[in-house]
Structure 1
Amino acid sequence: MSIIQSVLIKLPLWSVRKALRLMILAFLGSLLIGIVVFILYIKSLPELAVWHTTILKNEFNTDSDVKDFDDYVALEKRLFDELDREIYDKTVSNNDRSINRYIRNSFSDPKRWDKEWNKSFELPVNNPKMGILLLHGMSDSPYSLRAQAEYLHKQGIWVVGMRLPGHGTIPSGLRDVKWQDMAAVVKIGMERLTQKVGDKPIHMMGYSTGAPLALNYTLLALEDSTLTFPSGLIFYSPALGVTKAAPFAIWQSRLGNLLGLPKLEWNSITPEYDPFKYGSFAVNAGDQVYLVCNEVQKQLDAYAKNTKIKKPLPPIISFASIVDSTVVVKDTVDHLYKRFKGENNHTLVLFDINHKFTSHSLVKDSVHTALNKLREVPEDTHYRFDLISDINSTDGSVMQFTTDREYATSKKLDLYWPKELYSLSHLAMPISAKDPLYGGEDAPKSPGIQLGHLVVYGETSVLEISGTSLLRQRWNPFHDYTKQRVLEFIGLE
């Protein structure tokens, strides 16, 4: 006879019934409390605006009747005409100083800028030396690689910047976009460059989610001779790994659909004050980043197992901040660079934190531990690792510590950290200090809002823009250094 049976026999029947009642009441009480807390949470979320709920019908997807770049641009024109009708014509404000990007003539109106940077663009050149395709990140727009487009074009390169589906219009575009839609647009961009530069080199540049999309295309091109194989891959803040919770986040959105609670389809609902980047972020967007990263890992696994490899991967150079709250930097090392066996034409450039600033001991111990691991170079390394750091500097200058398979060197760079910065960020990596929107104090005057140096003080809960957003670094003080490295990488320096 089991112990439980023995105890039940000894207990009076009324005691068992009372215990069961208490358990049921406790469960029902917990359930009721949970429901109340859930309702209060839903009510606490900001209200959805028309740009969260409207679905634009002219957005591209894999079923669209689009055959080439010209077709895509034509569809894009219809999409932005629809955006004007459905959003701008219906959004009015009496506030002359509004920072809502969906109010005409506001400080955040994208049309204040000299070029429609929310759209795909092409920068042609006579007798191009080569071509380059620019791929922005999730929730961004082609503006994020604006600086790269301009300096590469001046070097005689035919530049194509693709607007990825769901982007550059309204945040609701991220609610149902699929990574396959974005991958299809990558092919359109590469086909366009092939038509324009012929057999000359074509490079791919990807920022954040643009990196796995470029890798996905490249690995497909290894097996498909109809696709133009890129000559090189250039990544900024590559999204090659996301948090472990990412696969489960989509269930929040599904629960919202099931219960008719559209607010649950959003990770964040914030004011739309940035002309070229969404403030609000749909749960589905994060899920698509996870899915494309997962697909690339499967492709890399298959590539590693393929004993009939026709050609190696093209050279890859990546620039990343050693601290990044958007993607997992360690995964860039573990999921990409550690995979290289026998190859030594790939480079990882990591920008360390500002150690002069951190002498004040404000950095968390847990962060210090994680960063020390990232600064270490794995054994049997088959890539070049450059750590850009002032860690042992005596005069405050930044050093380049290089570790390759056969040697380790260091050299002093004529670079210094701005005294007020303690690190770079995911957002800052591709952005020049001279950018009128995201740049520093010496940037040219912005035609509208300026977000690069909005350091203000006062009471909390007053401003439309959160204090966290204001503090996040948006421009790279070492942009000229990355520019030089890019030009060297593609053979123009």
Structure 2
Amino acid sequence: MPLMPGAEPYRHHGGPVGVLVCHGFTGSPFSMRPWAEAAAAQGLSVSLPLLPGHGTHWRDLNMTRWPDWYATLEREFELLSKECEQVFLFGLSMGGALSLHLAARHGAAVSGLVLVNPLVKMPGQAHRALPVVRHLVPSLPGIANDVAKPGVDEGGYTRNPLHAAHSMAQFTKVVQAELPQITQPLLLFRSPQDHVVTPGSGALLLSRISSTDVEERLLERSFHVATLDHDAETIFEGSLDFVRRLAPGAKG
């Protein structure tokens, strides 16, 4: 199955400070490419992988599970860690959950996290039916393009594959149990008008982590995919300031 336009992975070899960027469920690097390129333009080394099952057709995603997505992210982290003195994690939605899992597992090897509307808690109650429903229908209408800015298409799937969604729901429980292990500095960007991830996710994250260097910033003009929305530059600039503060080797 050919890749969707813009779904290609992105890599840039820059200085001794690296950034690992992770997209969300049913999305692709397309939604994170401007953020990755902004970091690269400031001299950072950047890796933005394509998670398995993404960027082609939703049926491909239904053949994968969360350990597959995480394995790709961890492999890229290990490669980036060999090149760089410090590595930061940037994640959107489920990419934020994967970043938290990686931070919990690798501890001080992760210098900090910048998360945008991270999925830590499944919204509503519909996910409770996934163990049964996923065997009856393969997919439901998709969650892509929750963007306030007119004319933006994030290049995500139009269908939500339910076997994969069930695995994601199981993964959120793993991440919730690991939150006290998170001690790294955290910059959280959250959209009050998010139609995919509810405020409960951010609240749960902030209430359970052990980090002492924590800041939350609200994105008042953006919806879920804020990296492509009105507040994108706020995210880019804020994340780069965060990295520069914590990494003496960062340029710019």
Q: TM-score, normalised by structure 1?
A: 0.45
Partner SS, residue 83 of structure 2: helix
**Superposition CA RMSD, Å:** 2.2
Q: In structure 1, what is the equivalent of residue 130 of structure 2?
A: 249
CA contact (8 A) 1:323 1:329 kept: no
Is 1:321 the equivalent of 2:191? yes
Distance 2:212 2:78 in 1: 29
Percent of aligned pairs sharing the same letter: 22
Q: 1:214 to 1:275 in 2, by over 3 A?
A: closer
CA contact (8 A) 1:209 1:238 kept: yes
Distance 2:234 2:223 in 1: 16
Q: In structure 2, what is the equivalent of residue 119 of structure 1?
A: 8
| Superposition deviation, residue 129 in structure 1 | 3.5
CA contact (8 A) 1:167 1:174 kept: yes
State which of 210, 215, 235 in structure 2 corresponds to 1:482.
Answer: 235
Amino acid at match of 1:217: L
Greater Rg over alpha carbons, structure? 1
Partner SS, residue 430 of structure 1: helix
State which of 288, 295, 298 in structure 1 corresponds to 2:177.
Answer: 298
Distance 1:203 1:237 in 2: 17
Q: 1:269 to 1:430 in 2, by over 3 A?
A: closer
Is 1:240 the equivalent of 2:107? no
Q: 1:181 to 1:350 in 2, by over 3 A?
A: same
Q: TM-score, normalised by structure 2?
A: 0.86
Distance 1:275 1:336 in 2: 26
Partner SS, residue 46 of structure 2: strand
> Relative contact order: is structure 1 or structure 2 higher (C-alpha 8 Å, sep ≥ 6)?
2
Instruction: Give the 5 Å matches for 1:349-368.
Output: 349-352=217-220
User: CA-to-partner distance for each residue in 1:397-419, whole Å, 9 max, x for gaps?
Assistant: xxxxxxxxxxxxxxxxxxxxxxx
Distance 1:135 1:174 in 2: 16
Instruction: Give the 5 Å matches for 1:85-234.
Output: 110=5, 117-125=6-14, 128-197=15-84, 200-222=85-107, 229-234=109-114
CA contact (8 A) 1:240 1:328 kept: no
User: CA-to-partner distance for each residue in 1:222-280, whole Å, 9 max, x for gaps?
Assistant: 3xxxxx721011111111111233132231112x2xxxxxxx1111279xxx6831111
Distance 1:149 1:299 in 2: 27
Instruction: Give the 5 Å matches for 1:259-278.
Output: 264-268=137-141, 276-278=155-157
Matched pairs, number: 236
User: CA-to-partner distance for each residue in 1:119-170, whole Å, 9 max, x for gaps?
Assistant: 2221113xx1401111100011111111111111111111111110110111
Distance 1:245 1:194 in 2: 39
Amino acid at match of 2:127: A
Q: 1:204 to 1:340 in 2, by over 3 A?
A: closer
State which of 145, 151, 160 in structure 2 corresponds to 1:281.
Answer: 160
Which structure 1 residue ranges, 5 or more long, are not aligned?
1-82, 85-101, 103-108, 111-116, 223-227, 257-263, 304-311, 353-422, 432-474
Distance 1:269 1:339 in 2: 30
Partner SS, residue 348 of structure 1: strand
| Superposition deviation, residue 185 in structure 1 | 0.8
Which structure 2 residue ranges, 5 or more long, are not aligned?
144-152, 245-249
Partner SS, residue 188 of structure 2: strand
| Superposition deviation, residue 281 in structure 1 | 1.3
| Superposition deviation, residue 337 in structure 1 | 0.5
Distance 2:12 2:128 in 1: 38
Partner SS, residue 131 of structure 1: strand
CA contact (8 A) 1:253 1:283 kept: yes
Partner SS, residue 121 of structure 2: coil
Q: 1:187 to 1:149 in 2, by over 3 A?
A: same
Q: In structure 2, what is the equivalent of residue 92 of structure 1?
A: none
CA contact (8 A) 2:16 2:83 kept: no
Q: In structure 2, what is the equivalent of residue 424 of structure 1?
A: 222
Is 1:331 the equivalent of 2:204? no
Distance 1:275 1:147 in 2: 12
Q: 1:300 to 1:237 in 2, by over 3 A?
A: closer
Q: In structure 1, what is the equivalent of residue 149 of structure 2?
A: none
CA contact (8 A) 1:120 1:161 kept: yes
Amino acid at match of 1:277: G
